[in-house]
Amino acid sequence: MPLYEYECRDCDNHFEALVFGSETVECPDCHGEKLDRLMSVPAKPKSETASLPIGCNPNLPPCGPSCCRM
């Protein structure tokens, strides 16, 4: 059961949803079904010694609202 990030085209709401199989996802605010699935970025490691590969270029603007550089 993957967790996806979505943005509603009707009301611009940004939310996450657990998706089971071929389940239809709708916006929790306006119940619209015109959604864009966003690319999720992994969370930062809890310790400073652990590291995750950074998928975005540090010379460019942040890659999204959950960018690891924000």
Give me the percent of the chain exceeding a pLDDT of 90: 39
pTM comes to 0.56
d(CA 14, CA 56): 21
d(CA 23, CA 8): 17
pLDDT over threshold 70, residue 66: no
Q: How would you class 70 by CB atoms within 10 Å of its CB: exposed for 0-12, middle for 13-18, buried for 19 or more?
A: exposed
**Domains identified in the chain and CATH numbers:** 1-42+51-70 (2.20.28)
pLDDT over threshold 90, residue 36: yes
Structure tokens at 40: 């999720």
